Structure 1
Amino acid sequence: MTEHAHVPPGVRGGIDLSSLAARAAAQQHGAPASADAAAAGAPPGSVQPGSVQPGSVQPGQAHPGTGQASPDAPFEVVEVTEFSFQSFAERSLELPVFLLLCSRLAPQCAELRTRVERIARAFAGRLVLGVADVDAQPGIAQAFQVNAVPAMLAIVGGRPLPLFQGSPEDDQLRGVFTQVLQIAAEAGVGRGPDASGGPAPEPEPQPLPPLHQEAYDAIERGDYAAAIAAYDKALKENPKDADARAGRAQVGLLQRTENADPRAVLTAAVERPQDVEAQLAAADVEIRSAQIEAAFSRLLDLIRSLPAAERDPVRVRLIELFEIVGGTDPRVIQARKDLASALN
């Protein structure tokens, strides 16, 4: 692991929180926070799974924690936001904190999150696990200057430790958790792995529904058509299957943008502002690059400019994009209101 030699101990010294602090202050006073578009991943010099080096955090440099957490403590996964990040990071003064950076637009993120949570659960009481959606919380990715998802980092005594990007195997994940806990114990934070030197037995993972597993396997081999077909079967069996509906929308986006040249697509949209297909393609590209508001605004403006009889394909696509971003996202909530207004 690259040594962060110039990062002093303490949360505010270890992590650049200035942009997040500004957002939190804005939210507290009811002012809008700026939307910095940043994707997340491990910065240059980050460590590959299993290669965390003891000594990257020197004993005495991190804030000493109590290390008294019970191994039988309940396990929780913290959904980290820009507003809550400060308090989340401060927990690293007592226990090592792990933060998984994910995106709804990266299909492997959901599967990795499931495995990370399962493996981390075996270390319950010895760590804190958080997950941040970089599409909804771009400032968190910006704070760590990372650029690809999924990615994971640890915070020990306020000091950030880049761990990996991508989707490592389970054995590598266990090694990462174990080694970071050992490093944290050397630094006076937490208790380290249990007395046997390893995690407690893991609970049995819950299998995916068969059609969901079929879709995931198809995504892994790049067969998006087969994945869509599997999700369609799942929706036929249960039209209320929200996971299948969201998964189908995500795979549809991947399929449509697989061979797209983003610059050419956006140029074509500028040149042909009333061309429905050009605008739909541009919105897809913007969603893939986490420009959520831009994509929604593009299609809402298009709907307003089209005759009523020509609006439906754009409306349908916009609803698909809502599924991808997530129904509880504030940008989706506002865009739904704008869509209802535009259609009246």
Structure 2
Amino acid sequence: MTNSTFNRPDAVDLSALKQTGTGPGAGTAAEATRRGTRSSWVIEVDESTVEATIRRSLQYPVVLELTSARVRGADQLSADLAALANGAQGRWLLARVDCDAHPQIAAALQVQAVPTVMGLLAGQAVPLFQGVLAHDEIVTVIDQLLQAALANGIAGHAEPVTVADDTEEAAPVRDVRYAAADDAVARGDFAAAEEAFDALLRANPADADARTGKAQAGLWARAGQLDPAAVGARLSADPQDGTAVLDAADLAMVQGRPAEAFALIIGLIRTTVGDDRDPLRRRLLDLFETLDPADPALAKARRDLANALF
């Protein structure tokens, strides 16, 4: 399994930033005083809440937007990021810094221009982009951040904050039935998370979120018990060793290489007959469940599996 500490050569040292944080909270919104409220996954960050915001990235990805109202196009970027964060329903959190009001944070992060967008993972900041990007380009960048998070075992969900809303309809909040599973994921107890998602599936076999959650938690529970060097040695010694192939596929998945994981299993299916194929096929289908249905690696693997089986 990969080291759960996120390391990149372009990561920004956050030690100076952490020293500026004095508040216990993480920048949640004030209680709404107007009649309507909605849930949001966007918070405002200042010097008193920056340390707690960094800590959040130990559980789930945080996108840090450093912006200024004076910059042309920054408002559209803010709107696009907020819409994506709220649409993700807690898969990541948007933390926004007004650099005009809080220049110390921008200085500590060595920001050269605004807007600047960074990713926070496992307490480290990694530059994502500067300037204003088109919506589709932002989606691509954030998808890469989420893949890096998964590859480092950062798979928790952010809790929404409550903000005032003048509209009649409130934004949805994640069902409280998932609380036990999400809490287990957040503390890294993937076996417990798998059990919690499985209980939800037994109660409602059509629950797609629970099915995906169970598959992801199961993957991390298995991968957490593996020694990559030992798995590699077993696979080199016997490429037809089904257990070694499945273990190597799990490691490839958590390291962000789904196409490689799928190819390992499908390659063995092609040379296997009878009942020996069934555990390989079942594991492959479980791994399929861990990905976004629109992932191109998934579509290709489904075609390859069909060809291998028939």
TM-score range, shorter chain: 0.5 to 0.7
Per-residue Cα deviation, 1:40-88 (whole angstroms, up to 9, x for no partner): 979332547967x9xxxxxxxxxxxxxxxxxxxxx9x9xxxxxxxxxxx
In the alignment, structure 1 residue 43 sits paired with structure 2 residue 5 = no
Structure 2 counterpart of 1:94: 73
Q: Unpaired runs of 5+ in structure 1?
A: 1-38, 54-74, 78-91, 101-108, 124-143, 160-164, 175-199
2:289 to 323, 327, 332: 323
Which amino acid in 2 is paired with 1:339?
L
Quote the offset at 1:212 in angstroms. 1.4
TM superposition shift of 1:110: 6.9
Mapped to 2, the partners of 1:95 and 1:45 lie a distance apart of: 23
Aligned equivalents of 1:273 and 1:293: distance in 2?
Answer: 18
SS at structure 1 position matched to 2:301: helix
Aligned residues of 1:303 and 1:342 also touching (Cα < 8 A): yes
**Structure 2 residue runs without a partner (length 5+):** 1-5, 21-39, 43-70, 82-87, 99-116, 134-148
Tell me the equivalent position of 2:216.
Answer: 250
Question: Aligned residues, how many?
Answer: 206
Q: Does the 8 A contact of 1:41 with 1:151 survive in 2? A: no
| Offset of residue 95 of structure 1 | 0.8
The residue type equivalent to 2:73 in the other structure is E
Please give the alpha-carbon distance, in whole angstroms, between the structure 1 residues aligned to 2:249 and 2:259: 10
Q: Contact 1:95–1:156 at 8 Å: present in 2 too?
A: no
Q: Sequence identity of aligned pairs in percent?
A: 32
5 Å matches for 1:278-317? 278-317=244-283
Secondary structure class of the residue paired with 2:300 = helix
Q: Distance in 2 between matches of 1:342 and 1:282?
A: 20
Superposition deviation, residue 340 in structure 1: 1.1
**Is 1:259 aligned to residue 225 of structure 2?**
yes
Tell me the C-alpha RMSD between the 2 structures.
4.5
Q: CA deviation at 1:226?
A: 2.1
Cα pair 2:212 2:289 within 8 Å, conserved = yes
**Does the aligned pair in 2 maintain the 1:215–1:231 contact within 8 Å?**
yes
* Secondary structure of 2:74 counterpart: coil
Equivalent residue letter for 1:291: R
Q: Rate the CA distance shift 1:254–1:154 in 2: closer, same or farther, 3 A.
A: closer
Separation (CA, whole Å) in 1 of partners of 2:192 and 2:287: 20
Q: Does residue 306 of structure 2 align to residue 335 of structure 1?
A: no
Equivalent residue, structure 2, for 1:272 = 238
Residue 254 of structure 1 and its aligned partner are, at CA, apart by 0.7
TM-score (norm 2): 0.54
User: Amino acid of the residue matched to residue 272 of structure 2?
Assistant: L
Instruction: State the partner residue of 1:226.
Output: 192
**1:24-54, Cα deviation, whole Å (9 max, x unpaired):** xxxxxxxxxxxxxxx9979332547967x9x
1-structure distance, mates of 2:262, 2:280: 11
Alignment of 1:178-193 (within 5 A): none
CA distance in 2, matches of 1:240, 1:48: 46
TM-score calculated relative to the size of structure 1: 0.49
AA partner of residue 234 (structure 1) = L
TM-aligned CA deviation for residue 158 of structure 1: 6.1
Instruction: For 2:213, give the aligned amino acid.
Output: G
CA contact (8 A) 2:12 2:126 kept: no
Q: Is the Cα–Cα contact under 8 Å of residues 211 and 231 in structure 1 kept in the other structure?
A: no
Question: 1:145–1:220: structure 2 CA closer, same or farther, 3 Å change rule?
Answer: closer
Structure 1 residue 306, shift from structure 2 partner: 0.7
Task: Say if 1:312 and 1:145 are closer, same or farther in 2 by CA, change over 3 A.
Answer: farther
What is the alpha-carbon distance in structure 1 between the residues aligned to residue 280 and residue 297 of structure 2?
A: 18
Equivalent-residue separation in structure 1 for 2:7 and 2:211 (angstroms) = 25
